[in-house]
Amino acid sequence: MSSAEKEEMEPSKSKARLTVVLALATLISAFGSSFQYGYNVASMNSPSLFMMEFYNRTNIQRYNVSMNEDRLTLLWSLTVSLYPLGGFFGSLLVGVLVNRIGRKGTLLFNNIFSIIPAVLMGTSELSRSYEIIIVSRLLIGVCAGISSNVVPMYLGELSPKNLRGAIGVVPQLFITVGILMAQIFGLRAILGNAEGWPILLALTGIPAVLELLVLPLFPESPRYTLIQKGDGDKAKKALKRLRGCENVDDEIREMCLEDESEKAEGHLSVLNLCSFRSLRWQLISIIVMNMGQQLSGINAIYYYADDIYRRANIEEGNIQYVTVGTGSVNVVMTIAAVFIVESLGRRLLLLVGFGTCCIFSMVLTIALNFQASVTWMPYLSIACVFMFVIGHAIGPSPIPFVMTTEMFRQSSRSAAFMVAGSVHWLSNFTVGLVFPFMVKGLNEFCFLVFSAICLVTFIYIIIVVPETKNKTFLEINQMLAKRNGLEVELNTKETEDLQGPASSPLEKSTSM
């Protein structure tokens, strides 16, 4: 057989199927953790007026004095903003937790930061304390900060290379499902009312309890087990369960070679990560992608959406249903991203997504400025909102998490997620803090700022970010080493080992 024929057979030979164990591990971890992130993003929106009334009523019961408007606004702003701030603190814990108790262990431990706040928020009205809601928002933010980083890491390490992109998008899919469910439960006719809001907030604990009960049945990351814990037998057993077959020697071999090639580095801290020339462009890329994701204007679009719907003469009582429609579009397009990410690639989805957001931010600016004088402009504004959400859902929302997993190896992955998560949540917090002032100063022209950010991110991706689909972590490392101006780290012998017999590395893994 010729070498060309062998190369043609290689990809099909290396393609793994989606097994029941891998599918269930993906669904349980994403529902138990990522769903909560999305749910708690949107759960405060609908019942906000009733909750502020509760804040004021509690103050009257305690001191016989009604809160002034400034204090009430300050307390509500604190309630909302502590969530992304908690997310930032949670991101800082990721490195320590995943290296000490593992990826799965961290997800199980993280449920503490969900169940306790859920109970506290659910009983806040009975206990007549708005302070515990504020503290709970900080704790639930810590939960979201940990889960938003660890779930993509865990699933990325469980997945075979030909499914890693699709499975890596699943956490973002459950974030959008969480947002949609919060919007549905938050309808006035369901729980978004004076009696139902404590239950609405408490529901976030249900996925956590389910994950706590079921996730222990599934394996820990084989890469963590082999490379960091040194247990080759356990790693091989876990891989057999995940792949549904006995022959997993190729993946074990690839893990062993990755371990060999990075032994000199050890496990990198964030400070080490920032000083390594070989990881320079990877680090800059995840910072740019995560900043672009959060500073693209998606939160501003949701903030402005209700006003846009009102100007289009949608009745006040129906706006909440249009908002649910926006959330549904978000879910549908993220589902689409799951199915197309492996065929179209990560890079193309990022470019299409940021390009779409850039264009429709500009069009929305024009529409908002002319909608008072042109009768059909309000409907163009609604179309822009939906197109922006579609663009963000297929690229900027899910792909940065996938790329963070793929662009770093085991020794630097936890530190990389700490950096990516910190940038993600600080950018989220910054938008929430600065956006009201932008609206006050720039009005509708604030979307031009977001359009410029999307454009800069788009250009950066074209110039710097490579395609990583269907490549092993070692192959991605080789490609990025060249981009960093370094020699490829794998020598010829290692490459031959990766493609050849399994004896030596496999023996090494089982003897660890």
Q: In 210-270, at which residue ranges do the beta strands (DSSP E only) sit?
A: none
- Please say whether the beta carbons of 424 and 290 come within 8 A: yes
The one-letter code for the residue type at 125 is E
More confident residue, 312 or 189: 189
Instruction: Provide the mean pLDDT of the chain.
Output: 85
Residue position matching structure tokens 């931010």: 361
Across the range 224-229, mean pLDDT stands at: 89
What pLDDT was estimated at residue 13?
A: 47
Confidence of residue 12 (pLDDT cuts 50, 70, 90): very low
What pLDDT was estimated at residue 266?
A: 58
Range of weakest confidence among 6-10, 132-136, 366-370, 482-486: 6-10
Q: For residue 457, is pLDDT > 80?
A: yes
What is the torsional sign of CA 178, 179, 184, 190? positive
**Which part of the chain is CATH 1.20.1250.20?**
18-218, 272-470
Q: For residue 486, is pLDDT > 50?
A: yes
Q: CATH for 18-218?
A: 1.20.1250.20
Range of weakest confidence among 297-301, 346-350, 394-398: 297-301
Confidence of residue 429 (pLDDT cuts 50, 70, 90): confident
Q: Mind listing the pLDDT tens digit for each residue in 32-65? A: 999 999 999 888 888 888 999 999 999 999 888 8
Tokens encoding 116: 């306790």
More confident residue, 472 or 364: 364
Measured distance CA(298)–CA(360) in Å, rounded = 12
What pLDDT was estimated at residue 267?
A: 65
Tokens encoding 289: 């992608």
H-type helices in 123-223, by residue range? 124-127, 131-158, 164-185, 197-202, 205-214, 222-223
Angle value at C-alpha 146, between 34 and 395, nearest 5 degrees: 50
- Please say whether the beta carbons of 424 and 91 come within 8 A: yes
Q: Mind listing the pLDDT tens digit for each residue in 333-343? A: 999 999 999 99
Question: Under 8 Å CB-to-CB from 326, ≥6 apart: which residues?
Answer: 302, 305, 385, 386, 389
Across the range 255-273, mean pLDDT stands at: 72
Across the range 141-161, mean pLDDT stands at: 94
- Please say whether the beta carbons of 175 and 34 come within 8 A: yes
What pLDDT was estimated at residue 347?
A: 93
Which of 321, 297, 391, 322 has its CA nearest to residue 350?
391
272-470 falls under which CATH superfamily? MFS general substrate transporter like domains (1.20.1250.20)
367 burial (CB, 10 Å; 0-12 / 13-18 / 19+) is buried
Query: What percent of the chain has pLDDT above 70?
Result: 90
What pLDDT was estimated at residue 497?
A: 46
Across the range 443-454, mean pLDDT stands at: 90
Residue 30 three-state SS: helix
- Please say whether the beta carbons of 505 and 253 come within 8 A: yes
Q: What share of the chain is helix, strand, coil (3-state, %, to 5)?
A: 80, 0, 20
Confidence of residue 262 (pLDDT cuts 50, 70, 90): low
Q: For residue 7, is pLDDT > 90?
A: no
pTM over 0.95: no
Q: Mind listing the pLDDT tens digit for each residue in 490-512? A: 444 444 444 444 443 344 444 43
What pLDDT was estimated at residue 386?
A: 93
